[in-house]
Structure 1
Amino acid sequence: MNLDKKRWIILLAGCFINLCLGSIYAWSVFSAAMADYFNATMGSNITPGDLAIVYTIANSVGPITMISGGWFNDKFGPKKVILVGGIMWGLGMFLSGFATSVGYLIATYGIIGGLGLGMAYGSVISTCVKFFPDKRGLIGGITTAVYGASSVILPPIVTAIVSRTDASFAFKLVGIIFIVLIAVSCMFLEQCPEDYVPSGYVVSTTGSGAKIENKNWKEMLKTPVFYVMLLLLTCGAFSGMMIISQASSVAQNMIGMTAVQASLAVSLLALFNAFGRILAGYISDKLGRINTLMIACMLGCIGGFILYNCGTGAAGLFYVGLAIVGMSFGSFMGVYPGFTADQFGPKNNSVNYGIMFVGFALAGYFGPQIMRGVYASTGAYQNAFIIALSFSVAGIIFTFLYRFLAKRK
């Protein structure tokens, strides 16, 4: 089978792997069940909030192996790197089923699982994008959307398992299933040949399809455009990371929704997040990456403004604001893998995108912190949405700065 056909099988395998990796978004289901398990079996007095540190650590250590694993991926190919990362992720979940303390969960889920997740996730996306130089935006959107879609698909499955057994068994079962699925999927992966070009695809001399010089991470860090792109990613992801972290609490405390209605709001945000990744990735192949990202920043402004004007009982308006913010956030997640490859070349994109992902990590840290700080000091969320809107405005400014630097180059 030639590569033009085989690349679609590789993409499908990558999507299965990312679906497993995206189960980190089901943590809220696991944490609530695990807190109940600790309290029932060991007489503890633990709340899901006490277990939040486990999720925080799992997300925080990921970029470490996303960068280091990216180096191995670019040098030796994706099979072994993603297999090791995937096994670590599944093993971390399996071992969490034996947890007797929060510290044990930090070691298994947070550190072993988190390091494996970062290693596999970045390599999956980079590998798939390399095989589609003609559709980098769309493929980046699809692979990141499947990862995000786990937040919709997996929670009800995990909930069903927990309801019939307990959190301990759910961790073990899901961990084993993920190890098997990832191992089988890795059999279909392979390294993309350097300078691979699909049949019938003509490399243009301008635009996102232009052939460019491959830069390694050291060369990338020497370019001013890298820092503009990193800050643009931080600004673009800020609103989404801020609101995703506390969407349920905002829905209940600001709008007066019930827990069931709030869960619907969270699902709506997740759906538009996933949809935005695919749509923006596709559009960016047509309109250009930076034009698409500017539109995404504008959507962030609109979404922030709508949420700022929401109040008690304004459920419909709140849903609209969440959907728009989800679209904006998803756009950045879907476009940036291809955007980074366009700018610095596909050869070293695993490492380069891993470093660029620091911009996302910054948004993931400061967004929720600012949301919590604003609510703690004012007893309301509105000012946080104004701050988020300001970041989106800053993002628009960075798109113009990027154009200036690209034109000068």
Structure 2
Amino acid sequence: MELTKKRWIILIASCFINLCIGSIYAWSVFAAPMAAYLSGLTGRTLTPGDLAIAFTICNSVGPITMISGGWINDRFGPKKVILVGGILFGGGMILSSFATSVGFLVFAYGIVLGLGTGMVYGCTISNSIKFFPDKRGLVGGVTTAAYGLSSVIIPPVANVLISNSGVTSAFMIIGIAFLLIICVASFFIEKCPADFTPSGWTPSAVQLARSPREDKNWKGMLASPIFYVMILLLISGAFAGLMCTSQASPIAQKMVGLSAAAATTVVSILALFNTGGRILAGYISDKIGRINTLAITSLLSVAGLIMLYFSGENNVGTFYMGISMIGLSFGSLMGVFPGFTADQFGAKNNSVNYGIMFIGFALAGYFGPSIMRNVYSADGSYQRAFVIAAVCGLTGFILTFVYKWAVKYQNKSVNNNHKVTV
């Protein structure tokens, strides 16, 4: 089959795989029942906040295997990397069902599952983007949207499983199902040839302008000052999204007074806007540019955090609007960044380059939930955490202008050097 047609099958398989690994965003649904389960076993009173360390570490270790898996992917193809990553991911979920302590849960969910997530996520997205140089932003949005869509689908399913069979059985059932889906789907994945160009496609002037003068490897990327602006922008933008995603259900219950069932709906709404933002922003960024899209999402995040700040038991509507804007902003950021990285440093080494860039996401995944947990422990409310996240959002907005200046300065230097050489 011609690769131009076959790439769509590869994209669909990648989306199914990402749908499975995106279930980490449904963590807040598991947190409360797992805390209650472990409290009964250990005799200690554990809260969802005490278990948030598992989610934090899960996000933090992902770049390790994104980078190493990306290196293997660039040399041997993504199929084997995704297969091994799928075994780690499903195995981590299954192992979580045997947890009898916070430490074991951190090992199973935080480390094993987290390492598997990084291996799979980096390969599916980078490989798909290489197959679609004509729709880089949209495909980056679609593949990351599948990742986010999981938290729309999984929370109600997990809630039913937890209610009927208990939280450990829910981990076991979901783990086995996802292990099988990822492993089967991995056989439909192929490596994109280095010289691949879709049949009948000619790059437009705008696409040629976005293309880098040369493909940079990780050393070349780290030598560029623009990389540091981009990773700071990623940290600033992801901070609020990961902070709220990690404890969306507890926030809804403690701050607004929603029931556990209603709080599960909040998790799904957050995930729905997260998913929609990835596709919408990916498409829009192909039209107006990645950095302009990121500037808009930064302001949207700040607006959402202001609404959350003023939310309470008498402001349920404000809370829903705020959480929806956070989801939309966070999804937009994650949908744009894979293509943004490829635009700046080239698609050839994007598996490794995006893995390194993803360290920014991991840092946000560590500090965001940690600050949220510490603020609530100290203040008994979440308001100060929303203020901190809003400052990060404003920082991200400022960084979009720093990026434009840095790119203009870099292009001017390159052109001057070129004139001297000639």
Q: Normalised by the size of structure 1, how large is the TM-score?
A: 0.92
Match of 2:297 in 1: 296
Q: Are 1:326 and 2:327 matched, yes or no? A: yes
Uncovered stretches (5+) of structure 1, i.e. residues with no partner: none
Query: Aligned residue for 1:280?
Result: 281
Query: 1:207 touches 1:288 (CA, 8 Å); kept in 2?
Result: no
- Give the letter aligned to residue 72 of structure 2: F
- Correspondence list, 1:10-409, <5 A: 10-35=10-35, 44-45=43-44, 47=46, 49=48, 50-207=50-207, 210-212=210-212, 213-408=214-409, 409=411
Please give the alpha-carbon distance, in whole angstroms, between the structure 2 residues aligned to 1:5 and 1:313.
Answer: 53
Whole-Å separation in 1 of the counterparts to 2:287 and 2:75: 31
CA contact (8 A) 1:19 1:150 kept: yes
Question: Contact between 1:208 and 1:285, CA under 8 Å: does it hold in 2?
Answer: no
Shift of 1:200: 2.6
C-alpha distance in structure 2 between counterparts of 1:117 and 1:255, whole Å: 32
Letter in 1 for 2:396: G
Q: Counterpart in 1 of 2:416?
A: none
CA distance in 2, matches of 1:31, 1:319: 21
Q: Deviations over 1:100-120 (max 9, x none)?
A: 444433333332222111111
Distance 1:132-1:317 versus aligned 2 partners, 3 A rule: same
Contact kept? 2:35, 2:47, Cα under 8 Å:
yes
- Measure the CA separation in 1 of the matches of 2:62 and 2:325: 28
Q: Distance in 2 between matches of 1:39 and 1:369?
A: 21
Aligned counterparts of 1:176 and 1:147: Cα–Cα separation in 2:
18
8 Å CA contact 1:78–1:123 kept in 2: the answer is: yes
What SS is found at the alignment partner of 2:196? coil
Assess, with a 3 A threshold, how the Cα gap between structure 1 residues 47 and 386 changes in structure 2: closer, same or farther.
closer
Contact 1:208 1:342 in 2 (8 A): no
Query: Which range moves more in the overlay, 279-288 or 383-392?
Result: 383-392
Counterpart of 2:241, as a letter, is G
SS in 2 for 1:199: coil
- Indicate how the Cα distance of structure 1 residues 27 and 237 shifts in structure 2: closer, same or farther if over 3 A, else same: closer
Q: CA separation in 2, counterparts of 1:275 and 1:224?
A: 32
CA distance in 2, matches of 1:43, 1:371: 25
* Aligned-residue CA RMSD (Å): 2.3
> What amino acid is aligned across from residue 390 of structure 1 in structure 2?
V
Residues 313 and 151 (structure 1 numbering): CA distance in 2 closer, same or farther, change over 3 Å? same
Looking at structure 2, the residues matched to 372 and 177 of structure 1 have their Cα atoms a distance apart, in angstroms, of 32
Q: Which moved more, 1:374-383 or 1:226-235?
A: 374-383
Structure 1 residues 94 and 259: alpha-carbon distance in aligned structure 2, compared to 1, 3 A threshold: closer
Return the offset for 1:164: 3.8
- Partners in 2 of 1:297 and 1:124 — Cα distance? 26
Q: Secondary structure at the match of 2:57?
A: helix
- What amino acid is aligned across from residue 401 of structure 1 in structure 2? V
Question: Where does structure 2 lack aligned partners over 5 or more consecutive residues?
Answer: 412-422
Structure 1 residue identity aligned to 2:198: P
CA distance in 2, matches of 1:390, 1:193: 43
Whole-Å Cα distance in 1 between the matches of residues 112 and 202 of structure 2? 43
Contact 2:59/2:366, CA 8 A, preserved across alignment: no
Contact 1:204–1:211, Cα closer than 8 Å, also in 2: no
1:167 Cα shift?
3.7
Contact 1:16 1:185 in 2 (8 A): yes
The alignment partner of 2:211 has SS state of coil
| Residue pair 2:298, 2:394 contacting (<8 A) in 1 also | yes
Aligned residues: 408
Counterparts in 2 of 1:173 and 1:9: CA distance versus 1, 3 Å: same
**Distance (Å, rounded) in 2 between the aligned partners of 1:26 and 1:259:** 14
1:165-213 CA-partner distances (Å, limit 9, x unpaired):
3444433333222222112111110000113221232224545764321
Secondary structure of 2:305's counterpart equals: helix
Q: Identify the range of structure 1 (63-72 vs 263-272) with the bigger mean alpha-carbon deviation.
A: 263-272
d(CA) in 1 for partners of 2:6, 2:94:
32
1:289 partner amino acid? R
Identify which range, 307-316 or 248-257, moves more after superposition: 248-257
Mapped partners of 2:188, 2:258: distance in 1: 46
**Distance (Å, rounded) in 2 between the aligned partners of 1:125 and 1:369:** 28
Corresponding letter in the other structure for 1:61: V
C-alpha separation in 1, matches of 2:171 and 2:372: 31
Query: 1:233, CA displacement in angstroms?
Result: 1.0
1:48 CA displacement: 5.2
Please give the alpha-carbon distance, in whole angstroms, between the structure 1 residues aligned to 2:209 and 2:138. 13
Give the stretch that moved more between structures: 1-10 or 160-169: 160-169
Alignment partner of 1:177: what SS? helix
1:361 to 1:318, Cα distance in 2 relative to 1, 3 A = same
